[in-house]
Chains A and B, each alone.
Chain A
Amino acid sequence: MKRYAGTIAMAAMILTMPLAQAADNLVPQMQAQYQSEGAGDFSAERGQQFWRQKHQAEKEPFTRSCESCHGTDLRQPGEHQRTGKVIEAMAPSVNAERFTDAKKIKKWFRRNCKWTIGRECTPQEKGDVLAWLNTL
């Protein structure tokens, strides 16, 4: 019996794994919240434009966009423009952990919008970006 105990434990772990793993994609929920803050309908096309838009900054690097760190192919990992640290792919289709943690989404919108465009993103901009990223 002892010989099989390990196998049984493994089987039990594998069987229960999907249950523990499934985390919800929070994009619809975030978008509902943005609408309650005044945003209208969301457009993936506008989101894509916003994502690629280049902005001028007063300090180096003078040209900044969301692509500076996330890269141009969002199904591939990006690289932080300064530290070189790998940033996992943004596309939820290849990275199921994307947009599953409301606190994380909020924290990074705040940091990245201020760094990239010099101000916080509006609820409309955030909803548009998420609409686009969620199609990838």
Chain B
Amino acid sequence: MKRLILLLTLLAVPTSLLAHPILGFPRHRGVEPLTNPLYSESCGECHFAYQPGLLPARSWKKLMAPAALEDHFGENAELDEEDRLAILKFLTSNAADTTWHYKRSIKITRSLAEDEAPLRITEVPYIKKKHSHIPRWAVQDNRKVRSLSYCNRCHTRADKGAFVRAEVDIPGYRNWADLF
């Protein structure tokens, strides 16, 4: 009996380490589903509020520069200075390259050279590659999607930080997973 308990403890220690939020090795699968009320109300009105773990800090810095916000992909996303700084801090301190326990963030960071700072998540090589098979008619020419930028129109649990093939539902074209 004593040996059994010993054995169980020995087994339990490494498993608890595996699930550990920082030391853990098989990390969480998605990106960290962080939310912040100021961020959601400032950056979530035109598209879903992208999780900070979808881009490295150097990209967020470029996106959040005052001149960049004034011409934000052709739209105006200006903020007052206080909010801009608070959001910049939220984004950079939780960026993809600050995370070690969320698989998607790590893949995003690894697919970029250290001096690369894309302004778009959809231009990160890892993300680009994952979507390279999807035809135009399902994205740009699909009135219900319009652009790959609107992750949550296809990824049904994007707001939870979950980007998994099996949970994709392209509006108007069901069951993507069965199609290919």
Contacts and interface: CB of A to CB of B under 8 A. Distances in A.
Contacts of B76: 110-112, 114-115
B70 interface: yes
B46 interface: yes
Interface size class on chain A is: 10 to 19
Interface in A35-89: 59-60, 80, 82-85
A114 B143 contact: no
Interface in B31-74: 41-42, 45-47, 70, 74
B178 interface: no
B75 A82 contact: yes
B150 interface: yes
A83 B78 contact: no
A4 B139 CA distance: 52
Nearest to A60: B74
Interface in A83-113: 83-85, 104, 106-107, 110-112
A83 to B, nearest CB: 5
Nearest to B42: A107
A63 B74 CA distance: 14
B47 A111 contact: no
Contact of A111 (B74, B77, B150): B77
B79 interface: yes
B47 A114 contact: no
Contacts of B74: 59-60, 82
A59 B75 CA distance: 11
A83 B73 CA distance: 11
Nearest to B77: A111
A80 B76 CA distance: 13
A112 B77 CA distance: 9
B146 interface: yes
B39 to A, nearest CB: 14
B78 A110 contact: yes
A107 B41 CA distance: 11
Contacts of B41: 104
12 contacts: A82-B46, A82-B75, A83-B46, A83-B47, A83-B150, A84-B143, A84-B144, A85-B45, A104-B41, A107-B78, A110-B78, A111-B76
Interface of A: 59-60, 80, 82-85, 104, 106-107, 110-112, 114-115
Given A85-B47, A111-B77, 8 more contacts: A60-B74, A80-B46, A82-B46, A83-B46, A84-B146, A106-B80, A111-B76, A112-B76
Q: Which 9 pairs between the two chains have the least Cβ-Cβ distance?
A: A111-B76, A115-B76, A114-B76, A83-B46, A84-B146, A111-B78, A110-B78, A83-B47, A85-B46
